[in-house]
Amino acid sequence: MATKIVMAQLSPTMEEGRLLEWKVKEGDRVEPSDILAEIETDKANMDIEALKGGVVRSILVEAGATVPVGAIIGILGEPDEDISDLLAEAEASLSGTPPVEDAEPEAVAAGEPEPAAGPPPSEPAPEPGTTAPSEPAPEVPVREIEHSQVAESSVTGRIRVSPVARRMAEGANLDLGAITGTGPGGRIVKSDVEKAIADGSARPAPAAAPAETGAATPAPTVAAAIGPARLEARDLDLSMMRKSIARRLTESIGPVPHFFLTSEIDMGRALDMRHELNQRIAPEKVGVNDLLVKATAEALARHPEINASWAGDRIRRHGSADIGIAVAVEDGLITPVLREADRKGLIQIARESADLVARARDRKLVPEEYQGATFSVSNLGMFEIDQFTAIINPPEAGILAVGSTIEKPVVMDGAVVIRRRMRVTMSCDHRVIDGASGARFLRTFRAMLENPLEMLI
């Protein structure tokens, strides 16, 4: 039975995905668990696997295209199987006409559990591996669906042609307007071009119009002898991650009533302890960020009212400190989550954090590794930022923004001395955290770093 491959919802916040690469081509036979394609979601790159074997009958979306969750991106079946109904369903989703019937699911994300029956029709988007809902699918641009592609023709002006057929015709220098399409709705498909090549029935594509004679040739520009070269303005397509960041932070800064608390911390003892510890555990290393995560987790354990979330008609206090660690990646930011950090020692935190950060930068995290934090830490100290404020990531109620540690003169016991100081700003959701409770948490956090042996007890 022919089956459809859909753009599965690979994370709860995913609304659309970019097809980075097909791992198969039309005509390939695949077996269960074979990788079909690589998808870029809003947070990571994930593979789609085949649930059962078959032949790749049609690739409907080209690499690089962005399509909504639930869109049909390909069809599997047997070589002699009629797939016209599934092709019609793909066209129906494009035009907004309800599809005739649902097809069996075919693909899931690598590492995801194999789905049972498809979701009820009321669900807005299918989970990984399920079929698209029977209601009209989100509109997909014409250029992204293979069997609804259009091409210019010297005879008919615009015709419908699949991307594969179009590329074959271009490669053979054939005029698509002279080829009769046998696909649904008169579309030109791969077999039509193969037939035209074999029997010579198609004429060559028209040559490009010659350049107009007498046209002025622009004079070569001469770069300025002094000053930087001028750059032309250009628009950049949004990545899935950048779209997600824009959507999530818009949801935060408007509805969430932020207020900010800033404290300056003496880091001398913490950095000395870190240096001595790293000499003892080499080649393993404890980073400054590991100290921050440990101190945050310990402070949250002592102030459970901070380790909480706004839940509409109630406040939810969490049973463990699951710390989100802000990591800068290409074209965005992701926060891998260190689970139960309040129950882990400093060295274990360092090991697990290093692994999470490395895989975050490679975009190899799975959704459960970057979702569900109860509190976050964002450290820009390595960029020589003295102080900044961070936006809360709902439903968390707080985030720490950490600046660089610098040597500066301070007054201690009536004398001016040079100390290593670090500024921290806590962003608080005022629906959950009041000024006094936030200040008490920040005072505990400061005490942990200024007396670091407390973190080891």
Average model confidence (pLDDT) for the chain?
Answer: 79
What pTM, to 2 d.p., does this model score?
Answer: 0.57
The amino acid at residue 137 is A
Helices and strands counted in the chain (H then E): 9, 21
Per the model's pLDDT, the better-predicted residue between 434 and 160 turns out to be 434
Per CATH, 3-115+126-141 and 241-456 having the same topology is answered no
Q: Nearest to residue 167, comparing CAs of 141, 201, 205?
A: 205
Sign, Cα dihedral of 10, 15, 19, 25: positive
CATH 3.30.559.10 for the 241-456 domain, yes or no: yes
Q: Is the pLDDT of residue 5 over 70?
A: yes
Residue 248 phi, psi dihedral angles, 5° rounding: -65, -40
Choice among 14-23, 117-126, 222-231 with the minimum mean pLDDT: 117-126
CATH number, span 3-115+126-141: 2.40.50.100
Residues 6+ apart with CB under 8 A from 107: 5, 6, 8, 36, 37, 48, 49, 50, 51, 128, 129
Quick: pLDDT tens for 234-266: 777 777 778 777 777 776 777 899 999 999 999
pLDDT at 202 (0 to 100) = 67
Question: pLDDT tier at 46 (50, 70, 90 boundaries)?
Answer: confident
- Beta carbons of 295 and 448 less than 8 angstroms apart: yes
Tokens at residue 9, please? 């919802």
Q: Note the pLDDT tens digit of each residue in 100-116.
A: 444 444 454 444 444 43
- Reference 19, options 63, 84, 71; nearest CA is 63
- The active-site residue, picked from 147, 258, 275, 430, is 430
Distance CA(188)–CA(148), nearest Å, equals: 10
What does the alpha-carbon distance between residue 87 and residue 8 come to, in Å, rounded to a whole number? 18
Q: What gap in Å lies between CA 4 and CA 94, rounded to an integer? A: 15
At 28, the pLDDT band (50, 70, 90 cuts) reads very high
Q: What are 360-405's pLDDT values in tens digits? A: 999 889 889 999 999 999 999 999 999 999 999 999 999 999 999 9
Q: Are 162 and 184 within 8 A, CB to CB?
A: no
For residue 230, the model assigns a pLDDT of 63
Residue 208 has pLDDT above 70, yes or no: no
Whether 119 shows a pLDDT value over 70: the answer reads: no
Domain residue limits, the chain: 3-115+126-141, 149-199, 241-456
Q: At what angle do helices 435-450 and 268-281 cross, to 10 degrees?
A: 50
- Confidence band (pLDDT; 50, 70, 90) for 192? confident
Note the pLDDT of residue 205: 64
**Could you tell me the sign of the dihedral formed by the alpha carbons of 194, 196, 200, 202, in that order?**
negative
76-101: pLDDT as tens digits: 988 888 888 888 787 665 444 444 44
Nearest 10 degrees: Cα torsion 349, 352, 358, 361: -80
Query: What are the backbone angles phi and psi of residue 294, rounded to the nearest 5°?
Result: -65, -45
> Which residues does 230 contact at the CB level (< 8 Å), separation at least 6?
none
Q: Out of 27-31, 159-163, 179-183, which region has the weakest mean confidence (pLDDT)?
A: 159-163
Both structure tokens of 191: 């077999």
162-171, 217-226, 257-266, 343-352: which has the minimum mean pLDDT? 217-226
pLDDT digits (tens, 9 = 90+) for 275-330: 999 999 988 899 999 999 999 999 999 999 999 999 888 999 999 999 999 999 88
pLDDT of residue 455: 85
DSSP-derived 3-state class of residue 324: strand
The pair of three-digit structure tokens given for residue 323, joined into one six-digit string: 């710390």
Peptide bond into 255 cis (omega under 30): no
CATH number of this structure's domain 149-199: 4.10.320.10
* Higher-confidence position of 39 and 351: 351
Top pLDDT among 369 and 221 is at 369
Average pLDDT of span 201-222 = 51
Task: Return the H-helix or E-strand segment holding 353.
Answer: helix 346-361
Comparing 135 with 382, which gets the higher pLDDT? 382
318 flagged as catalytic: no
147: confidence class by pLDDT, cuts 50, 70, 90: very low
